[in-house]
Chain A
Amino acid sequence: MIPFELLEAQSLREAIGLLDPEDASVRPIAGGTALMLMMKAGLFRPTRLVSLRLVRGCSDIRVDADGAVCIGALTPLATLEHSPDIQRLLPVIASTLRVLSNVRVRNVATVGGCLAHGDPHMDLPPVLIALGASVRVLGRGGERLIPMADLLTGYFETRLTKDELISELLVPPQNGRRSAYLKCTTRAGHDWPTLGVAVSLAVDGDCVRDATVVASAATERPMRIEAPRTLLVGRHPDAKLLRAAGEAAAIALADELHGSTAYKQQLVRVYVERALRQALDGDGGALQ
């Protein structure tokens, strides 16, 4: 490994000051579960790492009076998984985390690090997009909010500039919306997904009032698919309609899928239908 400088910041502000807006080889490091693998493989050779390990006050989970949830960027994924507030208000996040990598990784990896890494195979981004979440970002020029749907722009690419850090994840109140995340893995259940599908439904009586369907992993970045929403809104979600929604999603994504298009389309067709059914049944689990 080529030697590099390791600096430990005491606050996010100090960390931002230690980053270099012009130099991509200067990176922040939180849990380091992804970055260390890239460094060990020789894919990333930093000149400086700014460790966020000593930063305090960014790992709380706060619930506002209206039910909105604010999650500090340095919250370990395992803390999120076991949080009673998350299990009560956002059960889809808790169930997704149970199949996100393994417990050793979840104990160390942080929410902000996981989102800033920008890997389209990550499990959390599609779920957070479906939930309408956004991230608060801190930089030299102040802070700004970026909707999760806009954060990831490509492979390992995000809207963050080189001297910006995610400080908080904000999930709006769900007001009874039903959500589910399903992932298709080719080996173990907690593996990287071949396809991830997250859905969030607002249902009035026996009629769908709103629907968000997001696909990830098989695409260059997590993508909202509009076609199933158009079909579902205002209608009773019976088996035939759910199947049609899966079909519509597969057609809409035809030009966005990598690998074998026919195979991935079939996965989309099946998993969108299953995820919708799971959300309607109130079982938001992230099983295969």
Chain B
Amino acid sequence: MKVLGQIRVRAPREAVFNALQDAAFFASCIDGVHELVEIDPAHYNAVLETRIAYMKFRFKLVIELIRKEPPSVLEARVEGTPLGIVGRVTATSLTRLSQDVDETKIEYEIEAALTGKLGSLGQPVLRSKAKEMEKQFATRLCAAFEQTLSEPRS
């Protein structure tokens, strides 16, 4: 399953890149991510709790940063093991940042695979969930930069 998307943030590319590679900030933009633990600068563990209608899911995530080319490319591999269900989600996400006048264009491409019982939910359901999470992520990311821009400089 491939998920493509684009987010625009009114901030310089370098600032956006720095924010995105800051794991704690990144996690704070995704609803339901907690227990983020840094193993080393390229490896993290976390827990994701999310809902699809009346179904609640809890995933143990292992995140590996596999490519970092400041200030334009970030590539990560994520492996999610759902708690209580047989299955696994593996995903590789490639993020490219480009400056567009006073905005940074974030283009991302996620290649995800589902195995086990999770697959019985079907790709369209998870694609719809991914789109919902993208909207939320974009809102929080933009809000964070708006806040930074509006803060008085000392």
Taking Cβ atoms with an 8 Å cutoff, the residues of A that contact B are 2, 24-25, 27, 38, 41-45, 118, 154-157, 162, 220, 258-259
Contacts and interface: CB of A to CB of B under 8 A. Distances in A.
A42 B84 contact: yes
B55 A157 contact: no
Interface residues of B, number: 18
Interface in B88-131: 117-118, 120-121, 123-125, 127-128
Nearest to B121: A43
B128 A42 contact: no
Nearest to A257: B124
Contacts of B84: 2, 42, 45
Nearest to A155: B125
A41 B127 contact: no
Contacts of B86: 42
Contact of B53 (A41, A157, A220): A157
B85 A42 contact: yes
Contact of B128 (A24, A43, A154, A259): A154
Contacts of B53: 24, 118, 154-157
Given A41-B117, A42-B85, A43-B120, A24 B125 contact: no
A25 B54 contact: yes
Contacts of A38: 55
Contacts of A154: 53, 128
A132 B10 CA distance: 47
Interface of B: 51-56, 84-86, 117-118, 120-121, 123-125, 127-128
8 contacts: A25-B54, A41-B85, A41-B120, A44-B55, A118-B53, A154-B53, A156-B52, A162-B54
B55 to A, nearest CB: 5
Nearest to A46: B54
Contacts of B117: 41-43
Contacts of A155: 52-53, 124-125, 128
Contacts of B51: 24
A215 to B, nearest CB: 14
A-B pairs, 5 with minimum CB distance = A156-B53, A42-B85, A24-B54, A41-B117, A258-B124
B56 A45 contact: yes
Nearest to B84: A42
B121 A27 contact: no
B145 to A, nearest CB: 29
B124 A156 contact: no
A154 B129 CA distance: 10
Contacts of A42: 84-86, 117
A81 B51 CA distance: 35
B19 to A, nearest CB: 31
A258 B127 contact: yes
Nearest to B131: A220
Contacts of A41: 85, 117, 120
Given A42-B84, A42-B85, A43-B117, A220 B124 contact: yes
Nearest to A121: B122
Which interface residue of A25, A27, A41, A118 has the most chain B CB atoms within 10 A?
A: A41
A257 B88 CA distance: 26
Contacts of A27: 54
Nearest to B120: A41
Contacts of A25: 54, 56
Given A45-B84, A154-B53, 10 more contacts: A24-B54, A24-B56, A25-B56, A42-B86, A44-B54, A155-B128, A156-B53, A156-B54, A157-B53, A259-B124
A46 to B, nearest CB: 9
